[in-house]
Amino acid sequence: MFNKHSANTKQIKEEALRLGFLFCGISKADFLSEEAQRLENWLKNGLHGEMLYMENNFDMRLDPRRLVEGAKSIISVGINYYNDLNQVDSNAPKISKYAYGKDYHIVLKDKLKKLLNFISENIGAVDGRAFVDSAPVLDKAWAKRSGLGWIGKNSNLINKEKGSFFFLAELIVDLELEYDLTPSNDYCGTCTKCIEACPTEAIVAPYVVDGSRCISYLTIELKNAIPDEYKGKMDNWMFGCDVCQDVCPWNRFSVLHNEPAFKPNELLEMSKQEWEDITVETFNKVFKDSAVKRTKYSGLKRNIAFLR
């Protein structure tokens, strides 16, 4: 017997893979009851630091139907950004792998728009919106519900076959689909490598990250001066941090990405001295269409100076 929801779901997942997504899972647009208390406690304890935007739109973060009227489905996707390239100068201040290439917001938004157009052209009129880490959407919670992985002790989504070096994004649509009803098991087990390796001890308990201590927060989100208590504890990171992912045993399954937009430019060739002497002109050239622009030239200079 023909099942329309099943057929539509199959088409969407096949197209997502064709567009270059690593995986695609679908869950019912509903209230995230399990996450509500956890988010409230995290905010109450001030673990979001200066990320005051996390306090806004609390209800929207937990219920996607407040973001898209008539929302029925969350189409969660991931895209691989893993590579094994390192900076040539081992003494140069470090930059997270995810920022080697073009800003992932731009890349994912473009692919999601293509996926939404595909749905409209092949399945029928659909009302929906694409979200890439810049709206009140709990990406990891929806990816977990869609069976794409489990949320590890470092608070990253981990996939048993692919590790955790991937970006997450979603389409929220008013289309009823077939849902992935079996969330992944938690395979962290007794492992505490991420907790032990964190240079600033930001993972304050299994599955609980004090955002205000995280190197990614300190080098990107924090607008004021980096507190002196972190002197000598930044592990030479000037933008972001990969430590908790680098030590995660599940990332031995990471495979090299094949997304041209994530290919690094000359930033891997720059020496420690070149970073310390970086000018506005060089910053704008190296980081054109890059996620690093978020911290601005002044922020990157602040970070580099703090590492000296």
Q: Which residues are catalytic?
A: 133
Maximum distance among all Cα pairs of the chain, rounded to whole angstroms: 68
Rounded Cα gap, residues 232 and 185, in angstroms: 37
DSSP state of 226: P
Residues 6+ apart with CB under 8 A from 202: 209, 210, 211, 213, 214, 215, 217
Distance of CA 295 to the CA centre of its chain: 16
Please report the DSSP string for 124-187 in residue order: ----EEEE-SSSS--HHHHHHHTTS-EE-TTS-EEBTTTBS-EEEEEEEES--------PPPP-
Q: CB–CB of 64/115 below 8 Å?
A: no
